[in-house]
Every structure is written in structure tokens, then in C-alpha cells.
Amino acid sequence: MKVTFAKTLSANDVGATGSHQAGILVPKADKELMTFFPVLNPGILNPDAWITCIDEFGDEWKFRYVYYNNRLHVEHGTRNEYRLTYLTKFFRRTGAIAGDSLLFSTTDEAGRYRISLKRKESPSNGSPGGVIVLQGWRRVH
């Protein structure tokens, strides 16, 4: 069964704020999302896995899925978060902006995903109340 998750991109995610964050946050509280990506060993410092994503044009992208966990391993460590990094080139190539959704779908091969960018929807003239924009990660059904 194909599973898809979408992340509504923030200005910070796409680099529009000038911040120097490392990739997009993957919330560890979402157990289903945590099983969607490769399992990382919390017993080692900053475990990671490279995932391969194929876009709609057949281009292959390599992204790093990492658990920054120095809080668990280093005195005075502060980080305890999962992130996807090495997305900048993909964002630039696709022209991703805040409000767009980044979609990841499983394939038949472990560690390989389909990736696509869905442009944010803008309200059409005369539509009552505009468009509701979901924030963060969500399962696509």
C-alpha cells in the first residue's frame, strides 16, 4: 500500500528568512511519520540515513535523514530532533515557496520515495472565506 505524507513548507524551510537551520523538522511525536522514514539508532550520536527520492521528471535526489541527538550523548547537548537535509537544490530547482507542500510517497523499494511539490492554492475570486492551509506534516489519504 502506498503511503504519502505532505509537509507544508514554511518560509524558514525554503530559506526565505535567511536562517541557517539544517533542513526541515520531522516531528518525533508523530509515530506514523517516524515509521515512514528509516529507523535511526538513538544509541549513537547523530545517526543518519540517505534516502533516495525520484521526482515527477524521473530525476533522482539524495536527502539526508538525521537524528540530531547530542542532548542524549554530550554534556550540555541541546539538540534532540529529526530533520531532512540537503533539500536546498531541490527547492531551488522547483522554485518552492512558503505554503507549497512537499509530498513524499513510499515505493516498493525500502529507502526510496517519490517526491513532488504541490503549489499552494490561492483563493479564487468570489470564494467565501479563502483557503484553509494545513501547517506542518500530514498524512495524505
* pLDDT in the model for residue 69: 96
* pLDDT in the model for residue 18: 74
- Per-run averaged pLDDT (10 residues), the chain, 141 residues: 92 81 87 93 97 96 96 94 94 93 93 93 56 67 64
User: What are the strands of the beta sheet with 24-26, ordered from one edge?
Assistant: 24-26, 81-85, 60-68, 48-54, 112-118, 101-106, 4-8, 136-140
Answer yes or no: are the C-beta atoms of 102 and 84 closer than 8 Å: no
pTM above 0.75, yes or no: yes
* pLDDT in the model for residue 72: 93
Euclidean distance between the first and final Cα of the chain, in Å? 11
* pLDDT in the model for residue 141: 64
* pLDDT in the model for residue 27: 93
